Amino acid sequence: MKTGPLPIVTPGQMQSLDAEAIEKYQIPGLVLMENAGRGSAEFILSEFGAQCSKGIAVLCGPGNNGGDGFVIARHLFQHGVRVRIFCLAPIEKFKGDALANYVIARNLHIPFSEILSDHDARGLEDTLGSYGLIVDAIFGTGLSRAVSGRFALAIEAANNSSLPIVSIDIPSGISGQTGHVLGCAIKAAATCTMALPKVGLVTSPGFEFTGRLHVVEIGIPVQAVEAAGIPSFLITKEYAASILPERPLSGHKGTFGHLLIVSGSRGKTGAAALCALGALRSGAGLTTLAIPEGSQPVMAEKLTEAMTLPIPQNEQGSLSRKALPLLLEEMSGKKALAVGPGAGVDEEAQETLRSLVLESTVPVVADADALTAISKRAADLQKSKAPILLTPHPGEMARLLHCSTRDVQADRVKAACDLAAETGATVLLKGARTVIAGPDGKYAINPTGNPGMGCGGMGDVLTGVVGGLVAQGCPAFEAACLGAYAHGLAGDQIASFKGPWGYLASEVADWLPRVWKQLQACT
């Protein structure tokens, strides 16, 4: 059974969905806010029962996020929880639905304190200590400037309280668009987000502040979400399972594709071995590693299950331009090409790699030195003969876009989408919360992976895995999504089993059969 991915939205897209629910479907905004607050209160009562018994402090800022906070306080109050609202805005800052819920909360005589100055906010830390949990309803996803003044002091007091914090829609201070911290931000134990996850909740560094993510159904019509044509989604286990390549019972090694890898050079044979290992663990039927002839005997001995092809090398022990016609001929019968890891950065190797990517007659997964080779004129990939999948880390992405690594990390989604649009390629931007972007504007965020995977060889394995999936018939975008998810999940499971770091890229590759088994069980 196919399962669709989980859409993720920008603040602007969510505002449009809210407006359509209200204007087209005539669902009152007051109903949406009531659903948001009630759903969040139910989550808090269900998941934080022990803390509720000690009382809850609800921090309400200006606007609709504060309005959600008033509804939450009311429902908790009605359930007999000791609640106090700490309101960080005067009454004139509330309008419409938020004002209506402000008035209801005051009419019910819910305990209420105004925090309208820096002096008031500085006293919060001691006051919060008498509660068991904090609800953060200070700022929503519309925040676009750095937090300052009493709001910053309130956030600092909440974080310093050591109490669990449940944020409403998004941790206050996190950009809903990029996930970046706007001055300071709430560090939440859990976040109740409304209707759909926001991009800032699932990208880096926002996901580090989100805690456990819970989506609250508020009544946005399914038809409105479907009609919106949202091009972005979070990769889930169910989605990854739904795009597994088929493995018919009558299949054989010829059924599951033949991957050609061009990798390795003098001193860089490890990259080639790991790339081949990733391909073998991906389920590809056959793998051939083309490697400079001086390194081929080592690889032939090391790689038992992969075939090796010696190719002409230059004086540096890397690709000679004489290898190009041989490699193009070798593509006959192959289903995909993975190229780049450890292949060489000298001028001759770079020229050969660039020509190989552009002239390949089978889909290409380009990484590492192949990315360097095309970085001067990345737009030329629009002229390639076959589909291209690029797998840069942030530094390589910066070279491809001719900007700084800081620029890339400032908005990883935009960087990946920009490169995909410029080159016509699928882009897999590695790093915390990998971004996969297609040339059609679609993009996905991968939630798996951990800091222990920040070591040499992990990217080489990923290149082999993704290349092997393409060889098995997966379209480039789906291969990138599935490969990134499975590779990261293998790392996560090893980290929980062995420890948070110190495990090897080869161990991640060797764990992949367990991941395939788990995903297959979901289908």
- Summarize the confidence of residues 368-382 as an average pLDDT: 96
Model confidence at 1, pLDDT cuts 50, 70, 90, reads very low
Per this entry, what is the length of the chain? 523
What pLDDT, in 10s, does the model give residues 385-414?
Answer: 999 999 999 999 999 999 999 999 999 999
Plot region of 445 (φ>0 → left; ψ -120 to 50 → alpha; else → beta): beta
Q: Are 486 and 516 a contacting pair, CB within 8 Å?
A: yes
Cβ count near 203 (within 10 Å): 24
Q: Are 300 and 288 a contacting pair, CB within 8 Å?
A: no
Model confidence at 4, pLDDT cuts 50, 70, 90, reads low
Tell me if residue 149 falls in helix, strand or coil: helix
Report the C-alpha gap between 495 and 507 in whole angstroms: 11
Report the C-alpha gap between 212 and 286 in whole angstroms: 41
Res. 2: pLDDT tops 90: no
Tell me how far CA of residue 151 lies from CA of 60, 115, 144, 174, 440, in angstroms. Answer: 10, 9, 14, 13, 40
What pLDDT, in 10s, does the model give residues 215-274?
Answer: 999 999 999 999 999 999 999 999 999 999 999 999 999 999 999 999 999 999 999 999
What pLDDT, in 10s, does the model give residues 156-207?
Answer: 999 999 999 999 999 999 999 999 999 999 999 999 999 999 999 999 999 9
Longest dimension (CA), the chain: 84
What pLDDT, in 10s, does the model give residues 59-101?
Answer: 999 999 999 999 999 999 999 999 999 999 999 999 999 999 9
The position carrying tokens 């009311």 is: 74
Plot region of 340 (φ>0 → left; ψ -120 to 50 → alpha; else → beta): left
| pLDDT cut 90: percent of the chain above it | 98
pLDDT at 125 (0 to 100): 87
Q: Which residues pair with 233 in a beta bridge?
A: 7, 444
Which stretches of 173-283 are assigned E, i.e. beta strand? 190-194, 212-216, 232-234, 258-262
Report the C-alpha gap between 406 and 462 in whole angstroms: 24
- Calculate the average pLDDT of the chain: 96
Q: Give start and end residues of each alpha helix (H) in 291-404.
A: 296-302, 323-330, 347-359, 369-374, 394-401
Model confidence at 301, pLDDT cuts 50, 70, 90, reads very high
pLDDT at 340 (0 to 100): 97
What pLDDT, in 10s, does the model give residues 97-150?
Answer: 999 999 999 999 999 999 999 999 999 988 999 999 999 999 999 899 999 999
pLDDT at 5 (0 to 100): 80
Tell me if residue 315 falls in helix, strand or coil: coil
- List, in order of start, the domains of the chain with CATH numbers: 6-232 (3.40.50.10260), 250-445+452-521 (3.40.1190.20)
140 phi and psi angles, rounded to 5 deg: -100, -155
Q: Are 260 and 386 a contacting pair, CB within 8 Å?
A: no
Question: Which residue type, as a one-letter code, is found at position 177?
Answer: Q
Q: Are 284 and 468 a contacting pair, CB within 8 Å?
A: yes
Instruction: Report the predicted TM-score, pTM, of the whole model to 2 decimal places.
Output: 0.93
Position with higher pLDDT, 496 vs 5: 496
